[in-house]
Structure 1
Amino acid sequence: MGLVGVLTFWTGLAALHALRTDLSVVNDYVSDYANGPWGPLFTVVTLVHGVGNLAIAAGLGLALGHDRVARLGVLLFTVATVGLIVAALFPTDPVGAQQTVTGLVHRVAATGSFALELVALALLGLAFRSAAAWRSYASLALGLTVVAALMLAWLLVSISLQWPPGLPERAALLTFTVWEFTTALLLARPVHAARALSTRGRGGRHGDAPEMV
């Protein structure tokens, strides 16, 4: 489900970029695709992405066990996903239009989702280092987290200085979704999933799982 969510989101955004040539990759936010004739497509692919992320959160909660850092990371990742779903259900205001409550809810949800997911990724990266079954993935996960932090910083600077926000937002989205995709890919591996379930079923700690092969 996590893989389907990310792939659907990537495919939908690629289609929207081709269909909505009136919007600028450099000057416009991704959320601007929610307005106009193809708005429902943006809403649907974002909701599918959100459902996929909930599946990733459930899988990580099962695979990483009772480690406190992992549990906090999974919780924040889940809350960030709820923010993503809320942002999809409450579209942003059209460019140049007067601010509405719906648009305000979207901005708050989207901003909070970005921030919470970044913290979640950092915590989960640390949890991966402590879990034998995930240790080989920890360096890549933490590397993607650092890149995501840099892209978010670029976005915040662009907003504060009134620079075009399109490229930094898309760069941040790409980094976050690559992390989600690679994590879901590992969760979907039959051998890895079986070992995680076996360890959970025996009541073992997440760090007791064998190395990934």
Structure 2
Amino acid sequence: MDELTLYIANKNYSSWSFRPWIAMTAAGVPFREELIPFGPGATHPRFLELSPTGRVPVLHHGTVRVWESLAIIEYVAEVYPDAGLWPADRESRSLARSISMEMLSGFRALRGACPMNLRRPIKAIELPGGVTADVARIETIWRDMLHRSGGPFLFGAFSAADAMFAPVVNRFSAYDLVCDAETIAYMDAMRTHPAWRAWEEAALAEPWIVPEDEA
């Protein structure tokens, strides 16, 4: 089988790179990682060579090119059907895909106001309109899924759905957005997962600084 190569950007900032990386790593899927740090404006000329969108992440698998985080996760789940990227039962799988798609397409206020930054000291900011509603909706999703599954992750075991929400865990923490005990317990489970710790360790060691309005 051809090797999977995942092209990503800075681990400290690139939330979309984080999603497929942590999904594949947590599932034990073998792949080669190639990190290309952001240039000015959070871009890089090589991104255009690798992906038709000029953005990362992008997965190369032989002649196949897959871009966008959720599409990468879906492709890898097809190549490695026994890796458990999605829940085993149909109902749970449908829920996991629904909330993952909601994460992909929504919560723009939160993403715009609170960029992922694993090195950021915990500090609250004045929140623009829409962020509070985004936070409330995400907490509702997490609470509903955790009550249904029993935790510690959204569908019991770590899945692609957790990977899709992984950058939100950093946002909630770094910008001091939540205080609910169940939310904090889920965030703690995420942050102590070995895949999270591996990514975070590398992120904290990176030398690059990208202004928050460019990340």
Q: Indicate whether the TM-score tops 0.5.
A: no
- TM-score, length of structure 2 as denominator length: 0.31
When Rg is computed on C-alpha atoms for both structures, the one with the higher figure is 1
Greater helix fraction, Structure 1 or Structure 2 = 1
Greater strand fraction, Structure 1 or Structure 2 = 2
